[in-house]
Amino acid sequence: MSETIEKKETGEKESGKKEMEKAYIPAQAEAKWYAFWKERGYFTPKIDPDKKPWVCIMPPPNVTGALHTGHALFVAIEDAFTRYHRMLGDPTLWLPGSDHAGISGETTVEKLLWKEEKKTKVEIGRDEFLKRVWEWMDKYRNVILNQMELLGASADWTRNAFTMDLPRQRAVRVAFKKLYDAGLVYRAARIVNWCPGSLTVISDLEVEMKEEQGFLWYIRYPVKDEPGRFVTVATTRPETMLGDTGVAVNPQDERYKDLVGKLLILPLVNREIPLVADDAVDASFGTGAVKTTPGHDPLDFEIGQRHNLPIINIMNPNASINENGGPYAGLDRFVARKRIVADLEAGGFLVKTEPYTHNVPYSEKAGVPIEPLVKEQWWIKIGSLAAPALQAAYDGRVKFVPERFKKTYIDWMENIRDWPVSRQLYWGHPIPIWWCDACGSTFSSAEEAVAACEKCGSSDIRPDADVLDTWFSSGMWPFSTLGWPDQTDDLAYFYPGSLMETAPDIIFLWVARMIMFGLYFMGEVPFHTVYLHGLVRDEKGEKMSKTKGNVIDPLEIVAQYGSDALRFTLLTGSTPGVDAKLSATRLADSRNFANKLWNATRFITLSGLDDVRPTLPALQAGMPLADRWIVSRYNVLAAEVTRLIENYQLGEAGRLLYDFLWGEFCDWYIEASKLRLNSPDPATKEAVQRVLVGVLEGSMRLLHPFMPFLTEELWQNLPHEGESLCIAPWPTPAVEQDAEAVKSFEALQDVIKGIRNAKSEAKVESKRVAAIIAARPGFEALFETERETLIRLAGLEGAKLEIHAEAALPEAPRQALSFVTDGATVYLPLAGLLDLEVERGRLSKEIEEARKEIEKSERTLGNASFVDRAPAAVVAKEREKQLATQERLAKLEARLADLG
């Protein structure tokens, strides 16, 4: 095998080729052709001012991740579109890169540091830690991208970018300063999501709600100076009572009306706190009284704001109780919870405890419950950024595939809130803001190092300690990768891009931000189409996850089934926006398809193609029927595949190719071609070879976006023009077809299938049975001309085949098995072999079915409103059908009578 493959390294046409192996071995073709494409620079587009480019910016995978099936799916999809456009001749750019992955990046290296040196990032210090992160990043940054090459990703690696590389660092500073100078960045103390695991603030989008079994504790708070009176509150988080500065009730709640404004005594702490009335409280829940902890609950924070309740922070950054927690200081929040509940019970304050299922907010990345707390952060005012981004969706400048995601996007954007962008991490883009200790002002600079305060000139300045949310640099990706803020040729030519292909779960985190930033910084949407793919699930339809242990490694699949099989399975098994399951049987099916094509090509090349031209002959009246049929079908295929890809329906397009190549080209055309291939007449042989080669070569071009390696390998084995299929022209969709030929060939197929079917059912030995065809008017010539095809495909070698015009049939054969098609009545004389009873039964059954069909047609056609209102063509078709069925019925009945 290796010898065979290695010989054809350049793809030049060569004669005296070695025979192809019996089965397709993907690994060798894959490695060879990827290297070939890459070396030749096919993936790097040439800027041509006269042509409109096609651009897809790859969603940069996280450096910290391992290649998973999600990556395989997006590579399959994006690469298919990329290859399609490249073949169309568009200057095509698929720009790859990777993401520094803020929190995950930081924690990955933190864990490593702890594992190897038992040190924390704080111990080694910011600079040393960042040095370690960079070392790690440089080592692993391109691992996933390199693995994508095994999947055939035809991305332009010369433009590979990283969200933290120097050009991107500068772009981030310039962008942030612009926002800052425009007054869109502000600092405010609000309640934020604090992640006690990674010790940073995170945005609402990075919080994941998990349903948990917890408890609802009912605690009574004594009313001051009214011994024996209490207000009972219900809470899921008793430990936060240490920070309570009030209790709230609904103003309409009769139970508490007389108590509003009075003071309560906070148990254990003995702080006096007011009872306030606030509309946010639902009187029907719990006791109708809410303990209010403005420092640790978003709703309580709002209530606190309205009633001037003090904010008490009772937590340390790691979510242990701080000095404000008195005797509980130092305890972890969950330990403190137990202790406090016990103490409340001991003190007689605990009324009851109910099991309660509720949602607990978790930090997505760190996997621990977040702690809401009040902290000063940098925020981006989002309103003026969101408005144009909404407009772009309203007026269709950005389209969504499938369209329903447009609604998702709009709903979220219409309710968007300001964006907290600062993160208390080491790893990330430093926030380009400087604090001046001399004049107390802050300013932003796009320079990496700043010496003096912009306002007062003092050198007594310090940079902000925080870094930016990782999605800030991701949001700039569609233009930062093209060289922004410099006015590069790339930026001028390739922006705005064409397609953004990604997963629906990051519409808000990423897509929305790219659209906002694209409009703000570039004045144009970053892409005109957002294509959202579904999740890849395992065989049982379950989400793959490390903890479940059902993660499928795409590279293992590639090794087992081949890259093309994986790609084809993912593409044909998915519809936009719908989850796909990856099963072994479907993978095997795709692999078998590859093998089938391999062998079809092998068969054709084995016939000796040295002098065969690679062009598909145009349809001509004089061509043999089968040729006119397959060329017509191929033309339809090319047009349909093109249309479907343009409509982002890769799955349908792939299935069409599968059905055509296997079900029509291999099963019928190749089988039919064998006769002419064996012809002693060289012209006859060459004519059929040209069609075989032409259709297959064209189909390889149509299939290339789906199965790049196999198609290149086969294409190189066939007569072809050009050095690589990768840059071969996309077949021009031709609508030209010979409808008459298609109809005739189908009539022929019906008879062939009928004979096969009849023989199989009658369980008669295959080649000995004679057949008598009584051709209906207009079909005599067809069967006579295709006599040899009929004999071969119906398995009638060694048997007698009579073809008569229906009217000229000497006499209807008795003791014959028979069937009726639109083109003929066919008899298989089987005297002695035929079980008349069975045959009568079969005919009766068919007669019954025909009658039912006719009845149905009669009903439809008898319906006046159908005839009036349905389109003429539909009515005509129904009439035609009725007539045909009636004719068939008559013949079937005659046959039954003949049997006696």
User: What residues pair up with 188 in beta bridges, in sequence order?
Assistant: 377
In the complex with RNA, which residue's Cβ is closer, 8 or 596?
A: 596
In the complex with RNA, which residue's Cβ is closer, 10 or 647?
A: 647
Convert 522-555 to b/e letters by CB count within 10 Å (16 or more is b). Answer: beebbbbbbbbbbbbbbeeeeebeeeeeeebebb
Instruction: Describe the chain by its helix, strand, coil percentages, rounded to 5.
Output: 50, 15, 35
| Alpha-carbon dihedral sign for residues 493, 495, 501, 502 | positive
- Closest distance between RNA and the C-beta of residue 20, in Å? 8
Closest CA to 583 of 559, 609, 550: 550
- Distance between CA 564 and CA 30 in Å, rounded? 9
- Closest distance between RNA and the C-beta of residue 365, in Å? 14
In the complex with RNA, which residue's Cβ is closer, 164 or 233?
A: 233
- Closest distance between RNA and the C-beta of residue 181, in Å? 29
Q: What is the DSSP letter of 522?
A: I
- Distance between CA 633 and CA 647 in Å, rounded? 21
* Tokens, residue 8: 């054809």
- Closest distance between RNA and the C-beta of residue 407, in Å? 6
Q: How far is CA 57 from the centre of its chain?
A: 15
- Closest distance between RNA and the C-beta of residue 649, in Å? 4
In the complex with RNA, which residue's Cβ is closer, 290 or 515?
A: 290
In the complex with RNA, which residue's Cβ is closer, 257 or 462?
A: 257
Peptide bond into 432 cis (omega under 30): no
CA distances from 657 to 316, 790, 883 (A): 62, 26, 35
In the complex with RNA, which residue's Cβ is closer, 695 or 805?
A: 695
SS (H, E, C) 167-231: HHHHHHHHHHHHHHHCCCEEEEEEEEEEECCCCEEECHHHEEEEEEEEEEEEEEEEECCCCCCEE
In the complex with RNA, which residue's Cβ is closer, 486 or 761?
A: 761
Rounding to the nearest 10 degrees, give the CA dihedral for residues 688, 694, 697, 702: -130
- Closest distance between RNA and the C-beta of residue 871, in Å? 5
In the complex with RNA, which residue's Cβ is closer, 613 or 792?
A: 792
- Distance between CA 196 and CA 542 in Å, rounded? 30
In the complex with RNA, which residue's Cβ is closer, 285 or 334?
A: 285
- Closest distance between RNA and the C-beta of residue 788, in Å? 12
- Closest distance between RNA and the C-beta of residue 511, in Å? 13
In the complex with RNA, which residue's Cβ is closer, 94 or 217?
A: 217
- Per the CB < 8 A criterion, the answer to whether 68 and 554 are in contact is yes
- Closest distance between RNA and the C-beta of residue 115, in Å? 31
Secondary structure (DSSP) of 82-122: HHHHHHHT--EEEE-EEB--HHHHHHHHHHHHHHHH---HH
End-to-end CA distance of the chain: 62
- Closest distance between RNA and the C-beta of residue 50, in Å? 32
- Closest distance between RNA and the C-beta of residue 539, in Å? 7
- How open is the CA angle 55-57-63, to the nearest 5 degrees? 160
- Closest distance between RNA and the C-beta of residue 153, in Å? 24
In this structure, are strands 580-581 and 536-537 parallel, antiparallel, or unpaired? parallel
- How open is the CA angle 672-678-681, to the nearest 5 degrees? 115
Half-sphere exposure of residue 131, counting CA atoms within 13 Å on the CB side?
A: 5
In the complex with RNA, which residue's Cβ is closer, 126 or 869?
A: 869
CA distances from 7 to 12, 25, 305, 611 (A): 10, 16, 78, 20
Q: At 320, phi and psi to the nearest 5? A: -95, 160
- Closest distance between RNA and the C-beta of residue 428, in Å? 22
- Closest distance between RNA and the C-beta of residue 510, in Å? 12
* Tokens, residue 1: 């095998």
- Closest distance between RNA and the C-beta of residue 27, in Å? 12
In the complex with RNA, which residue's Cβ is closer, 447 or 761?
A: 761
- Distance between CA 612 and CA 606 in Å, rounded? 13
- Closest distance between RNA and the C-beta of residue 549, in Å? 17
In the complex with RNA, which residue's Cβ is closer, 535 or 782?
A: 535
* Tokens, residue 888: 């068939």
226 Cβ contact list (under 8 Å, min separation 6): 262
Three-state DSSP state, 468: strand
492 Cβ contact list (under 8 Å, min separation 6): none
- Per the CB < 8 A criterion, the answer to whether 427 and 106 are in contact is yes
In the complex with RNA, which residue's Cβ is closer, 547 or 585?
A: 585
- Closest distance between RNA and the C-beta of residue 431, in Å? 24
In the complex with RNA, which residue's Cβ is closer, 327 or 577?
A: 577
* Tokens, residue 309: 């309740």
Q: How far is CA 646 from the centre of its chain?
A: 16
Closest CA to 743 of 659, 827, 822: 822
In the complex with RNA, which residue's Cβ is closer, 169 or 716?
A: 716
- Closest distance between RNA and the C-beta of residue 573, in Å? 6
Peptide bond into 53 cis (omega under 30): no
In the complex with RNA, which residue's Cβ is closer, 77 or 433?
A: 77
Closest CA to 158 of 32, 52, 40: 40
In the complex with RNA, which residue's Cβ is closer, 399 or 753?
A: 753
